C-alpha cells in the first residue's frame, strides 16, 4: 500500500506567487525574480509532502497562472494572434504565456486574451484552449521535464502530472464549427509521445494522466480516442507506470472503458463519487492498482479516519493490500495551504478550528490513514487516531451547528412565495414607467477599483490604526467620488462601488450567522486572483441588514437610480466551504431566506433596482446530466425565494459569468430575473446564440468588454459586439455593461473603457 498526492496548492502559504506575478506585471521585479519565487514555492511544497510521509509526490502541478494554459504552451497550441509576441526577441516564454492569459496592450501590440471558463463544477477558472481545423501541435514548453528533473535533483520521488490528451481536447473549443476537436487526437498524440520520451530519458517511473472527463457523459468518439491514445502510449512505453486520475464524481458507465485501458493504476474519487466503490472493486483487473481518493480535496473538514479505514478495508479484502494507493479525492489546489497558520482565535475559534483540515493537514491525514490501515501500533499514530475520533464526535455534538429559529423557518418554507406578483411583460411596463431608462441602458456589474489606498484603509481599520469613524468617512468620500465619475461618464444606472467590501461572498459571510472565516485560508480562483472562502459550519441567518446603509447613502448622492448589490444564495453556497452534515439544498435555502430579508429591506429603503448575483449557478451543476434535475430544482427555487418578495416596479437583476448556458437556458428563464447580465466579450458574443434560439423573454446585458484583461477595448470593438448582439436579441431587451465587476482594475483604464462603452451605446441608440 502506497500514498500519493494529485496536486498541491501553488500560491504559496502567504500568496507569494500572487504578489510576485502582480509585481512582475507592474514592472517592479524582473523575470529572474519571478522565476525564483516559483522555484522556492515548488521546493517548499515538495519538501513539505516528503516530510509528511508521502510516497509519491506530484511535479508539474505548479503553475504561474493555470495548468491548462501550461498544457497549451507545452503542446504549442498557441493562437496565431500571439505571433507578434513570439517575434519580439525581448519577450520571454512567460511573456507569451501571460499574454495568452491576460491579453496585452503595449509597445504597439494589442492582443486580446484567450477565453476563460470554470474547471468542471469548481470555482477555479482555466484558460480555454483554441483549436483550428487540422491544428498542428509541437513540443514548445519543456516545463514538465524541467520540473521533474528539478524535483529529482532535490531528492523527491516525483510523479509528473499531465492533463490526458483526450481531456485536453475536450477542455478546448473549436474556433469554427466545421470540425470536431476530438478528430485532432492523431495530430496531438505524437507530441505526447515526444514528451514521454523526454520523461523516460529523465528517469521517470510513474506518470499521472488526468482524464477527469471519464466522470462525464462521453460521446463514442471520445471513448474511441481514449482507447487509441493509451494503447499507443503503452506500445511505446511499456516500462513507464501510468496512472489515470479521475475526480469530482463517479466513473459510472465509463468504468469498463477505464479498466480496459492498458495502464497500471486508476484513481477514483471515493468522496464525491462514493457510490462507485463497490462496482470498481468488483470489476477491478487483477494486475491494476486502484487509487482510493478517501480524503476530501475540495472541502476543509477533518477526515473521519474510521470511515476511510472502512473503505480501505473493504478494498483490501477484495483486491489485496498491494493493489491499493491512498490519496486525496482530487488535487489539493481547491483547499487552503496550512491550518497551522491560523493563530487568530477571534477569527477562527479553537472549537471550529479543531474540525478543519487544510492541504498540509490532508497530506498528513493520508499518511496517517495508511499507517493505521497497515496495522501500525506506533503510539504517535494511535494518538492521532484518538484525537481524530474526538474531533469528529465534538463536531457532531456541538451546539454551534443548530439554530432553533432557523429550523422553524425552514419548516414553513412551503408557505413562502417564490413567484413574482405579475408576469415579466406586465412588470416591464411598470418598470419602464418608473425608471425612464433609454434603449441600450448602460450600467456596470457592481464593483469599482479597489485601489491600494482602499485596501490599506481596511487593513489599518482592522489593526486599529484608524478608527471606525475615520474609516467610514474615507469610504463615504470614495463612494461619492465613484458616483460623480459615473455621472460624468453618463451611465444610466449607477452602483455604489462596494469599497467597503473585501469579496463578494466573504463580505456577506462576515455578516451572516453560522459562518466563520480563516485569516490565511486563501484559494486560487484564477491567475493571481485568490479568494478566502467562508466556512459554513452551522445554520445560517441574517441578524441585521447588511447593505442598506451603503446603498441608501449612494442613492442620496444622485438623482439617477443606484442598484442594490447582493450575492445570491447559490453563489454564496458554491464559493464557500459548506458543512457536510446536512444536504447542500437545505443550507442554500437558509441563505436564500437571509437574502430575501435583505431584498425586502432594500426595497423598503427606496432602492428599486436590486442585483442578486449568481455567477456560480451553472458551476453547481452535477457532472452527469441524469443528476441535473434535482440540483436545478432547488437552485432555481433558492434564487426565486431570495428575489420574489418584491413589487412589480422593483427591477431584479442577476449576473452570471464564464458559463455555458446551452443546457440550462430554460432554468435561467425560470429564474425570472428582470435583467440578466452575462460574460460575452471573450467569446465574441457566441454565448448569445442559445438565448436567441430559445427566444429568451426577459432583458439581457451581454458584456461588451473583458474586465479580466488590462487592455482597454475601443469604442469600435464594443459597437461591433453590440451589433452582433442585436442580431440575436431584440433591441428592446438589450442592456450595455462590462463582463464582470471592476474591482481588480485601475481607475484610468476603467474610466476610459466605460467612456467608450457609453459612447458605443449612444451610437447604437442613434442607429435605431
**Angle CA(426)–CA(427)–CA(432) in degrees, nearest 5?**
105
Cα separation, 262 vs 275, whole angstroms: 24
**Angle CA(63)–CA(67)–CA(69) in degrees, nearest 5?**
105
657 labeled part of a ligand binding site: yes
Cα separation, 598 vs 607, whole angstroms: 11
18 labeled part of a ligand binding site: yes
3-class secondary structure per residue, 50-68: HHCCCCEEEECCCCCCCHH
Angle between helices 185-201 and 220-236 (to 10 degrees): 30
Cα separation, 191 vs 136, whole angstroms: 10
Cα separation, 353 vs 341, whole angstroms: 11
The CB-side HSE value for 712 (13 A sphere, CA atoms) comes to 16
Sign, CA dihedral 430-435-440-442, equals negative
575 labeled part of a ligand binding site: yes
Cα separation, 260 vs 226, whole angstroms: 10
State yes or no: is 708 an active-site residue: yes
Beta bridge partners of 206: 241
CB 669 within 8 A of CB 697: yes
Cα separation, 481 vs 486, whole angstroms: 9
680 labeled part of a ligand binding site: no
481 labeled part of a ligand binding site: no
Provide DSSP, 116-145: EEE-TTSS-EEEPPEE-TT--------HHH
Cα separation, 736 vs 658, whole angstroms: 17
Pairing state between β 116-118 and 125-127: antiparallel
**Angle CA(747)–CA(751)–CA(754) in degrees, nearest 5?**
135
Per-position b or e across 501-525, b if 16+ CB within 10 A of its CB = bbbbbbbbbeebebbbbbebbbbbb
461 labeled part of a ligand binding site: no
Candidate list 67, 334, 496, 708, residue with the active-site label: 708
Q: What is the CB neighbour count within 10 angstroms for residue 550?
A: 21
CB 56 within 8 A of CB 157: yes
CB 59 within 8 A of CB 371: no
275 labeled part of a ligand binding site: no
3-class secondary structure per residue, 682-699: CCCCCCHHHHHHHCCCCE
Cell (9 digits) for 499: 469599497
Cα separation, 86 vs 595, whole angstroms: 49
Backbone phi, psi, residue 74, to 5°: -60, -40
Cα separation, 551 vs 474, whole angstroms: 16
Residue with cell 477569527: 347
**Residue 140: partners with Cβ closer than 8 Å, 6 or more residues away:** 73, 74, 75, 76, 78
338 labeled part of a ligand binding site: no
Instruction: Please count the residues of the chain.
Output: 768
Provide DSSP, 501-558: -S-TTHHHHTTSEEEE--SS--EEEETTEEE---EEEEEEE-SS-SSHHHHHHHHHT-
289 labeled part of a ligand binding site: no
667 labeled part of a ligand binding site: no
Backbone phi, psi, residue 176, to 5°: -130, 170
625 labeled part of a ligand binding site: no
Cell (9 digits) for 384: 492521532
365 labeled part of a ligand binding site: no
330 labeled part of a ligand binding site: no
463 labeled part of a ligand binding site: no
Could you tell me where the beta strands, DSSP code E, fall in 297-406?
324-328
Provide DSSP, 450-485: --HHHHHHHHHHHTTSS-HHHHHHHHHHHHHHHHHH
The binding site for Zn(2+) consists of: 655, 657, 670, 679, 740
> Active-site positions?
708
The binding site for 5-methyltetrahydropteroyltri-L-glutamate consists of: 15-18, 118, 123, 529-530, 575, 619
The binding site for L-homocysteine consists of: 445-447, 498, 613
The binding site for L-methionine consists of: 445-447, 498, 613
The binding site consists of: 15-18, 118, 123, 445-447, 498, 529-530, 575, 613, 619, 655, 657, 670, 679, 740
Amino acid at each position: 500500500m502506497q500514498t500519493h498526492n494529485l496536486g498541491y496548492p501553488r500560491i504559496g502559504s502567504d500568496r507569494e506567487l500572487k504578489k510576485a506575478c502582480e509585481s512582475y506585471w507592474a514592472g517592479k521585479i524582473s523575470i529572474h525574480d519571478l522565476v525564483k519565487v516559483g522555484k522556492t514555492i515548488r521546493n517548499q511544497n515538495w519538501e513539505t509532502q516528503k516530510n509528511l510521509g508521502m510516497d509519491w509526490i506530484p511535479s508539474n502541478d505548479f503553475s504561474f497562472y493555470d495548468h491548462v494554459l501550461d498544457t497549451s504552451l507545452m503542446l504549442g497550441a498557441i493562437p496565431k494572434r500571439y505571433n507578434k509576441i513570439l517575434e519580439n526577441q525581448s519577450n520571454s516564454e512567460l511573456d507569451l504565456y501571460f499574454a495568452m492569459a491576460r491579453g496585452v496592450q503595449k509597445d504597439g501590440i494589442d492582443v486580446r486574451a484567450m477565453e476563460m471558463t470554470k474547471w468542471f463544477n469548481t470555482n477555479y477558472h482555466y484558460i480555454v484552449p483554441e483549436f483550428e481545423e487540422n491544428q498542428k501541435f509541437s513540443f514548445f514548453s519543456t516545463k514538465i521535464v524541467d520540473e521533474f528533473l528539478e524535483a529529482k535533483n532535490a531528492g523527491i520521488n516525483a510523479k509528473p502530472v499531465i492533463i490526458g490528451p483526450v481531456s485536453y481536447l475536450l477542455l478546448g473549443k473549436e474556433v469554427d464549427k466545421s470540425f470536431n476537436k476530438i478528430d485532432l487526437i492523431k495530430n496531438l498524440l505524437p507530441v505526447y509521445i515526444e514528451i514521454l520520451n523526454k520523461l523516460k530519458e529523465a528517469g521517470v517511473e510513474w506518470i499521472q494522466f488526468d482524464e477527469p472527463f471519464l466522470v462525464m457523459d462521453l460521446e463514442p468518439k471520445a471513448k474511441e480516442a481514449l482507447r487509441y491514445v493509451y494503447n499507443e502510449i503503452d506500445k511505446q512505453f511499456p516500462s513507464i507506470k501510468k496512472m489515470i486520475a479521475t475526480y469530482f464524481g463517479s466513473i459510472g458507465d465509463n468504468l469498463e472503458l477505464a479498466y480496459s485501458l492498458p495502464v497500471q493504476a486508476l484513481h477514483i474519487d471515493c468522496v464525491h463519487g462514493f457510490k462507485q466503490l463497490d462496482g470498481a472493486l468488483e470489476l477491478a483487473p487483477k494486475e491494476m492498482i486502484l487509487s482510493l481518493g478517501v480524503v476530501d480535496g475540495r472541502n476543509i473538514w477533518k477526515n473521519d479516519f474510521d470511515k476511510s479505514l472502512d473503505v480501505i478495508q473493504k478494498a483490501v479484502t477484495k483486491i489485496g493490500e498491494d493493489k491499493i494507493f491512498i490519496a486525496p479525492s482530487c488535487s489539493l489546489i481547491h483547499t487552503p495551504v496550512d491550518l497551522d497558520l491560523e493563530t487568530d482565535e477571534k477569527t477562527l475559534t479553537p472549537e471550529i478550528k479543531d474540525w478543519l483540515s487544510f492541504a498540509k493537514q490532508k497530506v498528513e491525514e493520508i499518511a496517517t490513514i495508511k499507517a493505521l490501515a497497515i496495522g501500525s501500533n506506533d503510539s504517535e499514530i494511535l494518538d492521532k487516531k484518538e484525537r481524530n475520533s474526538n474531533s469528529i464526535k465534538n463536531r457532531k455534538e456541538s451546539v454551534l451547528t443548530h439554530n432553533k429559529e432557523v429550523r422553524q423557518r425552514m419548516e414553513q418554507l412551503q408557505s413562502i412565495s417564490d413567484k413574482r406578483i405579475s408576469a415579466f411583460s406586465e412588470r416591464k411596463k411598470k418598470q419602464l414607467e418608473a425608471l425612464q431608462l433609454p434603449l441600450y441602458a448602460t450600467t456596470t456589474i457592481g464593483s469599482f477599483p479597489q485601489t491600494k489606498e482602499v485596501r490599506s484603509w481596511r487593513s489599518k481599520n482592522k489593526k486599529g490604526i484608524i478608527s471606525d469613524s475615520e474609516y467610514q468617512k474615507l469610504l463615504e468620500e470614495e463612494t461619492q467620488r465613484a458616483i460623480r465619475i459615473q455621472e460624468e461618464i453618463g451611465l444610466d444606472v449607477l452602483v455604489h462601488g462596494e469599497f467597503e467590501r473585501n469579496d463578494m461572498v466573504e463580505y456577506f459571510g462576515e455578516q451572516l450567522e453560522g459562518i466563520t472565516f480563516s485569516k490565511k485560508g486563501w484559494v486560487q480562483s484564477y491567475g493571481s486572483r485568490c479568494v478566502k472562502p467562508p466556512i459554513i459550519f452551522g445554520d445560517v441567518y441574517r441578524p441585521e441588514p447588511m447593505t442598506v446603509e451603503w446603498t441608501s447613502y449612494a442613492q442620496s448622492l444622485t438623482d439617477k437610480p443606484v442598484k442594490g448589490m447582493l450575492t445570491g444564495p447559490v453563489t454564496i453556497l458554491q464559493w464557500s466551504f459548506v458543512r457536510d452534515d446536512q444536504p447542500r439544498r437545505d443550507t442554500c435555502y437558509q441563505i436564500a431566506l437571509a437574502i430575501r430579508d435583505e431584498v425586502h429591506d432594500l426595497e423598503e429603503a427606496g432602492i428599486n433596482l436590486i442585483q442578486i448575483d449568481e455567477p456560480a449557478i451553472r458551476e453547481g451543476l452535477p457532472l452527469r446530466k441524469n443528476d441535473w434535475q434535482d440540483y436545478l430544482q432547488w437552485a432555481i427555487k433558492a434564487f426565486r425565494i431570495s428575489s420574489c418578495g418584491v413589487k412589480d416596479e422593483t427591477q431584479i437583476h442577476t449576473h452570471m459569468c464564464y458559463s455555458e448556458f446551452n443546457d440550462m437556458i430554460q432554468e435561467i428563464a425560470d429564474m425570472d430575473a428582470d435583467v440578466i447580465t452575462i460574460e460575452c466579450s471573450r467569446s465574441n458574443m457566441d454565448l448569445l446564440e442559445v438565448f436567441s434560439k430559445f427566444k429568451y423573454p426577459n432583458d439581457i446585458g451581454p458584456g461588451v468588454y473583458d474586465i479580466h484583461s488590462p487592455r482597454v477595448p475601443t469604442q469600435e470593438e464594443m459597437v461591433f459586439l453590440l451589433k452582433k448582439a442585436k442580431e440575436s436579441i431584440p433591441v428592446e431587451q438589450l442592456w450595455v455593461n462590462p463582463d464582470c465587476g471592476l474591482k481588480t482594475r485601475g481607475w484610468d483604464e476603467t474610466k476610459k473603457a466605460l467612456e467608450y462603452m457609453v459612447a458605443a451605446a449612444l451610437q447604437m441608440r442613434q442607429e435605431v
